[in-house]
Structure 1
Amino acid sequence: MSKPHAEVIGDPIVQSKSPTIHRFWLDKAGIDADYTHCHVTADDLADYIAARRADSYWRGCNVTMPHKQAVIPLLDRIDPLAARIGAVNTIVPEDGGLAGYNTDAAGFIEPLRDDLAGSHLFRMARIIGTGGAARAIIAALADTGHVLVVAGRNVDKARALLDELDPGGEHHVAPLAHFGAETDFAFDDREGCFDVVVNASALGMVGQPPLDFDFSHVPPQSVCYDIVTTPLETPFLKEAKARGFRTVDGLSMLIGQAAAAFEKFYGVPAPREDDAALRKVLTA
């Protein structure tokens, strides 16, 4: 391709919404560049990276499953946050080599930034899931001063994640079933506190088992956040809205992480003034 271009790689990849997002912004910004998707298998990954090194028009790529960890040894430099999370989702040519970043953490935090700009007496997050997405979310919430409760089918894996990602934190683990059962816990005064409950798993996604969650575990005034994008309004978010909680859907994280990558690829901030229109395009 004889103009600046970036892409998203993975296996499979045709389902990715990234080309739609980046092309929308390129058009709005008036940038003569492109963003596509490229199907790359595990066997092809090393050859793909080698070929892109020689492409002077290539501005980088986003990386999705199953390559976020496998690509790390093929790069020249890994950003400290990406190294800590143990996953790269953005690669860019930099200083004569290839650098790996993780924009998932920034993308997750973005819709909470106004809340976190203030001070709180206490911040707590309940996180459901211990998979790849949870790693970036755990790191992001630990770095913004939250005490974490991580729930998973395997509590040993949950504890290992916390010990790896924030070894100095006073965090907690729970079996996944803990949040499915009703509790009579009486929450104390939440004035000055900030609570977020996150579904960082695939539970509730189309084709996956439902998320078994009892809202007696949600403190008053919490933000309920679900990273699932299909459906966009999951049963978890639908019930949270019905109960009066503020909600954040999976497109928020997807668009946020894409914006961080866009600036690395094209050297200018993503034009975010038309996010509402972008959402309409993505959900059409």
Structure 2
Amino acid sequence: MDDQPQASRHVPIAGVIGWPIAHSRSPILHGHWLKRYGIAGHYIPVPVAPEDLAEVLRAMPRMGFVGANVTIPHKESVLALADVVTDRAALIGAANTLIFRPDGKIHADNTDGYGFIANIRQHQPDWVPDLGPAAVIGAGGAARAVVASLLESGVTELRITNRTRIRAEQIRSEFGAKVVVYDWAEAGNMLDGAMTVVNATSMGMEGKPALRIPLDALAPGTLATDLVYTPLMTPFLEEAQARGCHIVDGLGMLLHQAAPGFERWFGRRPEVDDELRRAVLA
């Protein structure tokens, strides 16, 4: 007869799926929390080629997985494979957090927008969303999450520009009349009067092209934030700070977006603090 305690038979496993996945900092992040709170659980990187995604997703719950984070290139594809999709994931058109329910159903959510706003609130608690227009540079998946969260926070006008204008136009058609599209050539003008400015592109990241947009129109007191966190202090944030803007780096978005998933998988709401930042940066 097996007299092993029930609790030790079901150690929850979560992970992050992507292709490639070796670069992900999520295992460090969740591993830090598991150790800090003394939780018996595991969080591992799971490399999944696009052609294997459906098969792997169906197998993971049977292997003891309680959920997973999702990164490039699977964030859109998982929506079609999920049994339940939250309204915000459907609106954004991507999921970054999966919960494998006891009944075998896959629940898909998107916590990127939550992470974006929580990062701002933590580092600039006096930020007022409706103080003036918001300006978003970029129209990819991350930008869609930012747009959704800014509008939900109460921004009354949201300006957006993208190198491929049609992607910005698509965001306007889906998110409504508060969204105003600017040509890429007019990106500098878009910042005039904006009180919240977001770089939601990968430009300025290590190994990527620089963000070549004139920032002359940035006013002192504007909130400037970058989704890039390698480097932490991007050229965009450096110039914004020099112009008297309040700046928020992109690392906190990564940390905060992870918290809701961790709570669902491991049963504890984790803290996002300086100790966590140091662990992930190390």
TM norm structure 2? 0.89
Structure 2 Cα separation of the partners of residues 267 and 182 of structure 1: 43
* 1:160 alignment partner, one of 165, 170, 176: 170
SS in 2 for 1:142: helix
Count of aligned positions: 271
Structure 2 Cα separation of the partners of residues 139 and 116 of structure 1: 20
Structure 2 Cα separation of the partners of residues 94 and 129 of structure 1: 34
Relative to structure 1, the CA distance from residue 76 to residue 233 in structure 2 (aligned partners, 3 Å threshold; closer, same or farther) is same
Map of 1:31 onto structure 2: 39
Identity of aligned residues (%): 38
Q: Is the 8 A contact 1:226 1:237 kept in 2?
A: yes
Query: Matches of residues 76-87 of structure 1 in structure 2 within 5 Å?
Result: 76-87=83-94
Aligned letter for 1:279?
R
Map of 1:131 onto structure 2: 140
Report the CA distance between 1:111 and its aligned residue.
Answer: 2.3
Map of 1:149 onto structure 2: 159
Answering whether residue 203 of structure 2 is matched by residue 203 of structure 1, we say yes
Q: Deviations over 1:86-115 (max 9, x none)?
A: 101100023621100001010011123376
Q: Is the 8 A contact 1:182 1:214 kept in 2?
A: no
Map of 2:186 onto structure 1: 178
Q: Is the 8 A contact 1:130 1:158 kept in 2?
A: yes
RMSD of aligned Cα (Å) = 2.3
Q: Is the 8 A contact 2:130 2:154 kept in 1?
A: no
Structure 2 Cα separation of the partners of residues 121 and 60 of structure 1: 36
Moved more, 243-252 or 84-93: 243-252
Q: Deviations over 1:105-138 (max 9, x none)?
A: 1001112337688867644211000111111011
Relative to structure 1, the CA distance from residue 271 to residue 128 in structure 2 (aligned partners, 3 Å threshold; closer, same or farther) is same
Relative to structure 1, the CA distance from residue 122 to residue 223 in structure 2 (aligned partners, 3 Å threshold; closer, same or farther) is closer
Q: Is the 8 A contact 2:129 2:153 kept in 1?
A: no
Query: Matches of residues 23-102 of structure 1 in structure 2 within 5 Å?
Result: 23-55=31-63, 57-94=64-101, 96=103, 97-102=105-110
Structure 2 Cα separation of the partners of residues 248 and 158 of structure 1: 24
Answering whether residue 272 of structure 2 is matched by residue 266 of structure 1, we say no
Q: Deviations over 1:210-257 (max 9, x none)?
A: 001222222331111000121111101112222222111110110010
Q: Deviations over 1:127-175 (max 9, x none)?
A: 00011111101111111121100011122321211221x22x3221112
Structure 2 Cα separation of the partners of residues 12 and 49 of structure 1: 16
Report the CA distance between 1:20 and its aligned residue.
Answer: 0.4
TM norm structure 1? 0.88
Aligned letter for 1:225?
T
Q: Is the 8 A contact 2:92 2:141 kept in 1?
A: no
Relative to structure 1, the CA distance from residue 246 to residue 21 in structure 2 (aligned partners, 3 Å threshold; closer, same or farther) is same
Structure 2 Cα separation of the partners of residues 121 and 89 of structure 1: 28
Report the CA distance between 1:180 and its aligned residue.
Answer: 4.5
Structure 2 Cα separation of the partners of residues 154 and 24 of structure 1: 39
Relative to structure 1, the CA distance from residue 266 to residue 159 in structure 2 (aligned partners, 3 Å threshold; closer, same or farther) is same
* 2:27 alignment partner, one of 14, 19, 31: 19
Report the CA distance between 1:36 and its aligned residue.
Answer: 0.8
Map of 2:17 onto structure 1: 9
Map of 1:217 onto structure 2: 217
Structure 1 Cα separation of the partners of residues 110 and 195 of structure 2: 25
Map of 1:190 onto structure 2: none
Q: Following TM superposition, where does structure 1 have runs of at least 4 consecutive aligned residues deviating by more than 3 angstroms?
A: 113-123, 180-183
SS in 2 for 1:126: strand
